Amino acid sequence: MSPSIVGMIDHALLHPTMTDEELRAGCELAKQLGVASVCVKPYAVSTAMHILDGSGVAVGTVIGFPHGSNLTEIKVLETRFACEQGASEVDLVVNIGKVLSEDWDYVEVEIRNVVDTAHSFGALTKVIFENDYLEDDRFKIQLCDICRRVGAEFVKTSTGFGFVKQSGGDYNYRGATEADVRLMSEHAGDQMQVKAAGGIRSFEDAQKMVDLGATRLGTSASAGIAAGQPDSESY
C-alpha cells in the first residue's frame, strides 16, 4: 500500500464519548494502517504510548481543546505534562476570542509559550486556527505570520468540533475547506507545513487537501481512506 496518503494521517481519537476500549482499538488500527500519528485526549497519552511503543506511529495530543479558552499558564502546563508522558506532537487551539479581538500580543505570547515548552521536550507543534469562526481571511493570514515567527511546525485548519451557531439556532460545521488550505499553504512560508482537519472522510477528500498543499491530515476516517486508495487491494 502506498504511504503517500495514509502516512500523512493523524488518526483522531478525540470524540467526547470515546471509551477506553475504543481508544485501544483506535490505537491498534493506527498501528495496523501505519499512519503518521494518533491524536488523543490528554489523559490518554500514556495509554497510547504503551500500545504504540515501537510501532513508528507518533503520539500527539490536543492543548486547550476544543475552544482554546484556557489560561495560557494552563495550556503550558498541559503541554509540559503531555510531553513528560511521551507525546511528541501537540495540537494547540488558539484563543479564538482573543484572535477575533485582534489582541495579537496576547495571541503571540501564548502560542510562543506553548511552542517553546513543546520544543524543550523535542516535540513539534501544530496551531489550530478553528477557521469556521474566522470568516475574514486576514485573521488566518495574521495567525500564519505569528506561527512562523514563533517557530511552530504546522498550522492547522480546525479541531473537528468547531460547530458554529447559525441565525436559526442550529449548529453547522465546515472543517477544512479548499480555500482555507490553499490560503494557509500560501502563507505558511518555507518553515511551516499545513494540517487539514475536519470533514475529511474519503480518499478523494484527502487527496484534494494534499493537492492543495496539506502535508498532514486530521481524520477519524483513516480506515475508509486507506481502503479507498487506488492500490487498496494490496492492503
In tens, the pLDDT along 16-62 reads 999 999 999 999 999 999 999 999 999 999 999 999 999 999 999 99
Q: So what's the pLDDT on residue 121?
A: 98
Q: So what's the pLDDT on residue 234?
A: 30
Helix (H, G, I), strand (E, B) or coil at 193: strand
Across 86-94, average pLDDT = 98
Q: So what's the pLDDT on residue 65?
A: 95
Across 2-19, average pLDDT = 90
- Beta carbons of 3 and 217 less than 8 angstroms apart: no
What is the average pLDDT score of the chain?
A: 93
Annotation says 156 is catalytic? yes
- The C-alpha angle with vertex 6 and arms to 78 and 82, in degrees rounded to 5, equals 10
Nearest partner of 108 among 67, 145, 156, 68, judged by Cα = 145
Annotation says 140 is catalytic? no
Q: Select the more confidently predicted residue: 169 or 227.
A: 227
Of 132, 156, 180, 205, which one is the catalytic site residue? 156
Of 91, 132, 180, 205, which one is the catalytic site residue? 91
Q: So what's the pLDDT on residue 170?
A: 66
Q: Which residues have CB under 8 Å from 21's CB, separation 6+?
A: none
Match 474566522 to its residue by C-alpha cell.
Answer: 134
Across 97-112, average pLDDT = 98
Beta partners for 124?
A: 89
Q: So what's the pLDDT on residue 42?
A: 97
Q: So what's the pLDDT on residue 22?
A: 98
- Beta carbons of 57 and 6 less than 8 angstroms apart: no
Q: What would the pLDDT profile of 128-171 be if each residue is shown by its tens digit?
A: 999 999 999 999 999 999 999 999 999 999 998 877 666 676 66
DSSP 61-100: EEESTTT--S-HHHHHHHHHHHHHTT--EEEEEP-HHHHH
Annotation says 195 is catalytic? yes
Q: So what's the pLDDT on residue 173?
A: 74
Distance CA 7, CA 10 (A): 9
Strands 124-128, 154-156: pairing kind: parallel
Q: So what's the pLDDT on residue 4?
A: 82
CA 28 from centroid of its chain's CA atoms: 20
| Phi, psi for 64 (deg, rounded to 5) | 70, 30
Residue-range domain boundaries for the chain: 3-234
Strands 164-165, 171-172: pairing kind: antiparallel
The DSSP symbol for 114 reads H
CATH of 3-234, one of 3.40.640.10, 3.10.20.90, 3.40.50.620, 3.20.20.70: 3.20.20.70
